[in-house]
A = this chain, B = another copy of it.
């Protein structure tokens, strides 16, 4: 096997299809409900928000969906992404474990988000849509969609959570460079925004509020659709290019993972890496494969939330879905891993967790940044705070291996670089990072506001 550190595929090895785990785990399909009537959603209910191609993908149980040639052409601008053996980190940990990571930070957006942004922009353009509306928290998703819209000549309106809009002007500048219009949410251009501002003029906004605004924008403009960067099944499916590539690369390395790890906000980068491997667990004789979702202790949706029907947004305008949730009114503490601050999780991922097909763990900020710094100083890449959650879990398993003498093969998703997140590292160095642990009362209170289904 030599001493390779990087496993590089060629352009023709970019997957030609997305993988849909619902074909192999049909019990994970949980149709959404209409937010007003609480009746099962039909395609026609989603038509004001999404193009029909994406609606069909959302409800599809086909195992594979062909990737359009134009999307594959754009993937070639940055895919296949490299898979690394973390030999330098292994050496620093003095561990017998073999640690691999798939690196999505080479994308021009700096994260995996472009994998679905390009696909969503493509299908909307094809359907004759003129403009996309979306929300963004930390800004990774908004940046990726702005890039994709620039390419497909679509207008792009981004509702950016006010706290981020004020604190992260560079993310706004990045989106504007790609031609997007970025608004500080809550705005005064939507009914949802105006009513929240009237109630609480000093609100710093939340992802749930920004989703309400973007959904309303799309629902009330004929030429405008809505675009979401995680949670939905078609989004998770688009991300499976990650895991499909990683399987080919692990084969090049002559190994197969004992555990695959990803951080979870809504669930798209975790699912993108893990689902193609879980196919082997579900149908291919890899029963012992462990899939580990890592979340922040400040927003512990899987590890401490409830599996229940809940709204996807704060205002109750988005569909109701069955998922692990902390309650749609829950506003997580302002941790630096902004991409992990969502009250719910993808319904498909939630079902798999409920069925004990995947596993989860939560960490507070300081140990996550310690892991990030060790990783940077050995492997050289500065990780995004979100991705650093996966690193922390991988390091913990590698340390356990040192004690136990086992030599597990660990694979994690390094979903993005941290070049936009240096204020977070600054806080870490200056010792001002708080270790938010969520009080149980706060969870209990939010749970009382779940819709009565």
* A445 adjacent to chain B (CB < 8 Å): no
Given the known inter-chain contacts A173-B426, A173-B429, A177-B429, please indicate yes or no for A377 contacting B8, CB distance below 8 A.
no
From A377, which residue of chain B is reached at the shortest CB distance? B150
Q: How far is the CA of A19 from the CA of B177 in the complex (A)?
A: 38
- Contact B422–A419 (Cβ < 8 Å): no
Whole-angstrom distance from the CB of A346 to the nearest CB of chain B? 26
Most buried by B among A109, A170, A178, A380: A380
* A406 adjacent to chain B (CB < 8 Å): no
Q: How far is the CA of A169 from the CA of B150 in the complex (A)?
A: 30
Q: What band does the interface of chain A fall in when counting residues whose beta carbon is under 8 Å from B?
A: 35 or more
Residue of B151, B171, B174 near A378 (CB, 8 A) is B151
- Contact B377–A76 (Cβ < 8 Å): no
- Contact A176–B88 (Cβ < 8 Å): no
5 more contacts with CB within 8 A, not counting A3-B73, A5-B73, A173-B425, are A6-B76, A108-B380, A108-B417, A151-B378, A171-B422
Residues in A lying within 8 Å of B, measured CB to CB: 3-6, 8, 10-11, 73-74, 76-78, 84, 88, 106, 108-110, 114, 147, 150-151, 169-171, 173-174, 176-179, 373, 376-382, 417, 419-420, 422-423, 425-426, 429
Residue of B150, B169, B379 near A77 (CB, 8 A) is B379
Residue of B88, B108, B176, B420 near A151 (CB, 8 A) is B88
* Chain B contacts for A11, CB-based, 8 A: 4-6, 8
* Chain B contacts for A379, CB-based, 8 A: 77, 108
Given the known inter-chain contacts A110-B419, A382-B108, please indicate yes or no for A426 contacting B170, CB distance below 8 A.
yes
* Chain B contacts for A420, CB-based, 8 A: 419
- In the A-B complex, the 5 residue pairs with the closest CB atoms: A170-B422, A108-B380, A419-B419, A150-B377, A173-B426
Q: How far is the CA of A99 from the CA of B381 in the complex (A)?
A: 29
